[in-house]
Structure formats: structure tokens, C-alpha cells
Amino acid sequence: MAAPPPLPPLHVGVLTGGGDCPGLNAVIRAVTLALRHEAGARVTGIERGFRGLLDGRARELHEADVAGILCEGGTVLGSDNTCDPFHTADGSDRSAAALAFARSLGLDALVVIGGDGTMAIAHRFHQAGLPVVGVPKTIDNDLAHTERTFGFDSAVAVVAQALERLATTARSHGRVMIAETMGRYAGWIALEGGMAGGADVILLPEVPFTVAAVAARCRARAQAGRSTLVCIAEGAHAAGQGLSVSATLQGSPDPLRLGGVAAVLQAALQPLLDCEVRHTVLGHTQRGGTPTAFDRVLATRFGYHAAQLVQQRQWGRMVALQADTCVSVPLGDVAGRTRRVPPGHALVQAARGLGLSLGDA
């Protein structure tokens, strides 16, 4: 009997969804190089996230297309955080058109790199019959079932350096300097950034604060001749108060944009203190620029593991880091969940043990 004809090479799509994040290009590079090197696969980049599936925007990726992008911030494919093909801006479901485009390209699989919103959409495409593998990204480090996401280390490094710089003004002028970090509903960036940058007060979404407690700490430090550095997460809030919302983005799967809590805290603290209180919002500086070496390596490990899952035809799964090992978890277990800082987390305990204030009683 004649041997069966060889299978045609795999053709794999890759897209980046949601906000940009240091390390996205490192994943695109690793997925492309590993699939081409190990499986002789064709790789096609879908441009501007899921929007590219609706707009028919895709381009083939070769080794030359991913050369030199390891250290670049952002994403060479472009991204989009307002397009959900299952629920577009006008309320219609255009997922069939997105699937038809993927099929017209002849894709055997799609590697989706993104945060929880993107993973939820990826899960729905998987359920609709598109073979999908997910790769977790977010500076917020808040995805369920993975102890790290790439981009987080880079954001923490930015926060730490910003705090160091703010500390010189705090000391020179005897001021209270407040830095507001990103992180949505999770305090990971503020916690690790605050610890790395030498903050005296760290305010997290998971630990509601009182203005009185923060003011008392600032006063005590001022009486001892010391300035105060406060690191506050954008999702932090005073006990009994709501979140500070800066905008509502129509059409986004996650429309609320947080921001402004540092200004609120500054206004509340100033009348209670004799020294000047100032605030700085670090904003998108935390998401921009080149990834740290740690994030380049993590993103490369994730991209390589995603390529392995594709070759093993393990669809509907997301790469995850558990006990510092790359594993995979069902997309359905990740979609719509977030991982927040447990109030008893070891680093929270360490902060308290060092005498830092978390703004609670």
C-alpha cells in the first residue's frame, strides 16, 4: 500500500488584542520563528487585533519580518481594544464574517495574544470552531491561572524609577508626593512598584484606605523631619467610596477607564497637612518602551510554548506560568476572571512588617 501523501504545512495566524504591552513583539517573534523552524509552518499576522479579521487585514510573517523586534515596545501587528466581532459597536454579531476571513486565508489555527477581554473573545472563537491558542499579556498581571504575565516587570521598573525620581523632590521640599499607577482592579503594579521604588504608603484596590490613616502617617513622618512617598493604584479607593473613573470607552469590551484617584487623595490630604501635597499620574509611560530582559525572556518562553501547543493540536488553551513552568489552562477557565492581590499576600505582609502604611487602620 502506498504511503499517505504528506500533510500540507500548518498555516497559523497570530494577532495581538487589547492594549499594547512591552513584550508583544517578543511573542510574535518567538511564535513565528518556532513554528517556521520546528514545523515548517506558514505564519500570517492579523493586523489590529480582531478588527483585522473583519477588515481583511493580514500579512505573511517570515524570519526577516520579525528580525530586530525582540526589544521593541508596542506591537508590529497593531492592536485594538474596542473590537469584539461577537458584539460590534452597532450591537451586531459579525463573528461569521471574521471566521469566513480566517477560513479564506486557509488558517489551521490562530494564536491570540491578549488580556482577559481578548481571551474571552478567543474562547468564543474556539467554541465557534476556530482552533485557538491563547498567550496571556498585560502589564496588570491580573490574569487568572498564571502567576505572571509579560509586560508586568517592565511596568514595575517604570514605577520604581518614577518613585526614585519623585523622592528627590519629596526630600528637597519636604512634600508628600503621590504617584498613581495603572493596574485596573488589581494592585500588583502598585504593590511591586511601590516596594521596588521605596514608597512609604502603598494604596491598593484590595485594601480600602482612609484619608485619616494616610494623613496620620504623613504627619508622623513630617514631625520626624521626613517626606512621604505614596504609591496609589488607579483602582484604589477610600473605604465606602467608589472607584475613580476617568472615561467610558464606547464599544470597548471593558468600557470603564480608571484614573484620577491620586488627585482626589491630594485634595483630601492637603487641608489636613502643613506640607505641600502633589500628585503625578504615570499613565501610559508604564506600558511604553522596551521590555525588560525578564519580560523578553518570559514573552519568548510563552511564544515558544504557544507554538508547541499548536504543533500538538491542543486547541482552546492558554499558555500560563505556574511554579515558574510553562503549562496551559483551558481558555474557558480564564475568560472573564481576574486575579487580584490577596490581602494576606507575602509582599503585603512584608510591607506591613517593614512599617509601611497600606492606608487602613
Q: Which listed residue (165, 226, 257, 337) binds ligand F6P by CB under 6 A? A: 257
Minimum CB separation from ligand F6P for residue 115, in Å? 6
Q: List Cβ<8 Å contacts ≥24 apart for 271-275.
A: 272/211, 272/212, 272/215, 272/219, 273/176, 273/215, 273/218, 273/219, 273/222, 274/222, 275/174, 275/175, 275/176, 275/218, 275/222, 275/227
Q: Which stretch binds ligand F6P (CB under 6 A): 4-12, 31-39, 50-58, 133-141?
A: 133-141
Residue 269 · residue 277 · CB < 8 Å: yes
Mention every residue, 6+ apart, whose C-beta is less than 8 A from residue 278: 169, 175, 176, 177, 178, 266
- Grid cell, residue 48, equals 489590529
Q: How far apart are the C-alpha atoms of 349 and 361, rounded to whole Å?
A: 15
81 or 228: whose CB is closer to ligand F6P?
81
Mention every residue, 6+ apart, whose C-beta is less than 8 A from residue 323: 147
- Grid cell, residue 140, equals 496588570
326: which strand partners?
Answer: 321
Minimum CB separation from ligand F6P for residue 14, in Å? 20
184 or 317: whose CB is closer to ligand F6P?
184
Residues 335-354, interacting with ligand F6P (CB under 6 A): none
Q: Does 83 bind ligand F6P (CB under 6 A)?
A: no
Q: Does 123 bind ligand F6P (CB under 6 A)?
A: no
Residue with cell 500588583: 188
Closest listed residue to residue 220, CA positions, set 199, 194, 200, 195: 200
Q: Does 182 bind ligand F6P (CB under 6 A)?
A: yes
Minimum CB separation from ligand F6P for residue 139, in Å? 5
Q: Which listed residue (184, 237, 305, 340) binds ligand F6P by CB under 6 A? A: 184
200 is a catalytic site residue = no
Residue of 80, 116, 140, 295 marked catalytic: 140
Q: How far apart are the C-alpha atoms of 159 and 198, rounded to whole Å?
A: 10
Site string for ligand F6P, 12-51 (x = CB under 6 A): -------x--------------------------------
Q: Does 138 bind ligand F6P (CB under 6 A)?
A: yes
Q: Does 287 bind ligand F6P (CB under 6 A)?
A: yes
267 sits in the region (left: phi over 0; alpha: psi -120 to 50; else beta) called alpha
Q: Does 143 bind ligand F6P (CB under 6 A)?
A: no
Q: Which stretch binds ligand F6P (CB under 6 A): 54-62, 85-93, 132-140, 200-208?
A: 132-140
Q: Which stretch binds ligand F6P (CB under 6 A): 44-52, 122-130, 177-185, 323-331?
A: 177-185
Q: In the chain, what's the furthest Cα-to-Cα distance?
A: 91
Q: Does 113 bind ligand F6P (CB under 6 A)?
A: no
Q: Which stretch binds ligand F6P (CB under 6 A): 6-14, 72-80, 85-93, 182-190?
A: 182-190
The DSSP secondary-structure symbol of 271 reads G
Cα atoms found within 13 Å of the Cα of residue 114, Cβ hemisphere only: 35
Interface with ligand F6P (CB under 6 A) = 19, 81, 115, 138-140, 182-184, 234, 257-258, 287
- Residues assigned a catalytic role: 140
